[in-house]
Copies of this chain bind each other. A is one copy, B any other.
Amino acid sequence: MLDFFFSPSSIAVIGASRDPDKLGYAVLSNLKEGNFPGTIYPINPKADEILGLKAYPSVAEIPGPVDLAVVVIPYPFVPAVLEECGKKGVPGAVVISAGFREAGREGLERERELIEIAKRHGIRLIGPNCLGVIDTDTPLNATFAAGMPPGGPIAFMSQSGALGTAVLDMALAGRIGFSRFVSLGNKADVDEVALLESWEDDPSSRVILIYVEGVSDGQYFMEVAHRVTRKKPVVAVKSGVTQAGSRAVSSHTGSLAGSEAAYHAAFRQAGVIRAESMQHLFDYARAFAYQPLPAGERIAIVTNAGGPGILATDALEHAGLRLARLKPETIEALMADLPGAASAANPVDVLGDALADRYGHALKLVLEDPGVDGCIVIVTPQAMTQIEETAHVVGRTSQQFDKPVLGCFMGEARIAAGVNVLRQYNVPNYSFPELAASALAAMVAYKDERDRPSYEPTHFEVDQDAVREVFAKARGEGRVSIGEAEARAILEAYNFPIPPSQLASTPEQAVEIAEQMGYPVALKVASPDILHKTDVGGVKLHVNSANDVRDAFDLIVYRANRYVPGARVWGCMVQKMVPPGREVLIGMSRDPQFGPLVAFGLGGIYVEALKDVVFRVAPFSEQEAREMIGEIRAYPLLEGVRGEPPADHAAMVDTLCRISQLVIDFPEIVELDINPLMVFEEGRGAIALDMRLVLH
């Protein structure tokens, strides 16, 4: 897919120039210097020949077919040439030219025109306002960046072209190699999703990196990313994370950044690894690109220095990994081989005077241990250290095992030679143990995620018609908020457990209902115009007798009419009092990028004051609902503290999944709260005590 962008047979460079200061020169020169094997057509009405290539006045006049057009002319002329490309039947265009959406209102209009032309002719478009495209296999360098990066198994896409120049400059220094590189620019057409699909089965790309400020179609992104991450790791830096950062985004590309919580949930659910910084992005990428995935989280450390060994141990634990426990046989074999003062337990300290062969023996023994899933090899440049020889030994040994080995050759002046040697063996090096540990942690996290079976969301039998009826009635009355009596009908339609409850229009009817139910009962004002019932004194709990029911009814109705003049007051809901349990909140709001974002937290102060809440994008499976529950900080309270039995997890999972289905079935629900869901002990279920709901 989108192959014409990466391995075209012929390219037209529209705006090719002889002036070395022009981007049109840089692009043409990069294509040529990058040894593009196909035909290059410089398009320039004022030239016959540029850089030794025959030039044409326009695309139309090119004799043969053109697979790709690279457009580097001033923005006013772009629509016309795109139209021309369409007529010529060019399948793909990279529009480098700026002056579109990023340039304000008029630019946005121009961009819409581009999109219209491209759609009409079936042209796929990268950009506008981008740096271009690189494929190191073809090889193709259709950018105006300085030079061609070395090849490697990393595919990189960036919403920021300038960041791309920095990344390519890093690559030029030999730190990293790319299979594909795409600067996405304004994403008028080709976006992250299109490239994920294009690279999904690309054998040259072992890992996909994304720098993204905002995705357009969140749910589609999740669907594709979830499929791709089953095949290869996708690591992303999402910027515009903080409030101030989001402001910077909107002044930058005009893309609407989804809320941080939504991105966090969506990336996680899609299996996308989130790097917290650009440095982590490349640290992770090098590990994924060059080393096998670890089978588990048990890591060994081989070091010639105690201090860095401790740092690595700290870092492993901090990253959520475990120090491998070596088998007695391994320890014995190590002890037979190492000097007496060495430490044969993990971290394996081969001592400061270790030569290359001692490292080799120790590393081999450690990697042979079935209890070791991966290894960090630390080398400090001590007096006798054989830096290059050790790198060779480490490299060779690592290739005998299907376990990840990361280097941590620490230093720079003398150490550099060793790092270069490691690179020959595809062993990535990290300057400090902390960086190696977090790269390994990313690998373990990816492996776990990838190997987890994909669960489908549970499908419940429900009564959608009943819900439709409620919504229709509300709409008919011009309301968007749904009162409690109506919410009950929805809860019942979706089989949520709710307390026995009935509407009473008179005090006498309320007494009758209460007597039938048995005391204690609660009375709540029934009005479609009062959402926050407690605020107007519209709730009475623990009502214990006929007299009290009568009093409560009258008081509630009086207050409702007084505090919300004009409200339609239907009477009171009489509800069986529910025994105490743990109060949980389940809510939903619509994220502009990802849609229905379901929230879970402990009710009351935990959600409100302590912001202890987790999110998932609906729909999600039972397993994901269970994970959500386990992720809140206050989870120990649901497990039970001080000998208390655990809360009924199955009931919480069930409620979350039914909410997931409800908000998917009815996209017109924009907000929803079940607060509280009263959860009883394991096996005793839960009851939704109150629900509020807002329609579009």
| Residues in A lying within 8 Å of B, measured CB to CB | 21, 23, 26, 102-103, 144-147, 158-163, 165-170, 172-173, 175, 211, 213, 237, 239-245, 247-249, 251-253, 276-279, 304-311, 313-318, 322-323, 341, 343, 345, 347, 349, 352, 380-384, 410-416, 431-435, 605, 608-610, 633-634, 636-637, 641-642
Contacts and interface: CB of A to CB of B under 8 A. Distances in A.
Contacts of A175: 412
A410 B162 CA distance: 10
A422 to B, nearest CB: 16
16 contacts: A158-B307, A160-B305, A160-B310, A163-B308, A166-B381, A167-B411, A172-B414, A213-B310, A242-B318, A248-B347, A251-B345, A252-B309, A277-B311, A277-B434, A609-B634, A610-B637
B158 A317 contact: no
Contacts of A307: 158-163, 211, 213, 239, 252
Given A213-B310, A413-B173, A432 B277 contact: yes
Nearest to A314: B245
A276 B347 CA distance: 20
B411 A166 contact: yes
The 4 tightest CB contacts between A and B, nearest first, are A160-B307, A169-B411, A162-B305, A166-B410
A577 B680 CA distance: 31
Contact of A413 (B163, B172, B310, B431): B172
A237 B432 CA distance: 13
B165 A381 contact: yes
A306 B610 contact: no
A402 to B, nearest CB: 25
B309 A248 contact: yes
A582 to B, nearest CB: 11
A34 to B, nearest CB: 16
Nearest to A636: B609
B310 A239 contact: yes
A173 B383 contact: no
Residue from A158, A307, A345 having most chain B Cβ neighbours under 10 A: A307
Residue from A311, A343, A605 having most chain B Cβ neighbours under 10 A: A311
Residue from A166, A352, A610 having most chain B Cβ neighbours under 10 A: A166
Given A410-B169, A416-B173, A160 B252 contact: no
A678 to B, nearest CB: 18
Contacts of A167: 411
A247 B415 CA distance: 29
A160 B306 contact: yes
B240 A415 contact: no
A630 B340 CA distance: 51
Residue from A248, A309, A317 having most chain B Cβ neighbours under 10 A: A248
A310 B608 contact: no
Contacts of A276: 434
A622 to B, nearest CB: 26
Contact of A162 (B241, B306, B314, B605): B306
Contacts of A213: 307, 310
A305 to B, nearest CB: 3
A412 B307 CA distance: 30
Contact of A380 (B163, B242, B248, B315): B163
A104 to B, nearest CB: 8
A468 to B, nearest CB: 37
Contacts of A279: 431-432, 434-435
A313 B383 CA distance: 44
Nearest to A242: B317
Nearest to A639: B609
A277 B279 CA distance: 14
Nearest to A170: B412
Contact of A146 (B247, B383, B433, B637): B383
Contacts of A608: 641-642
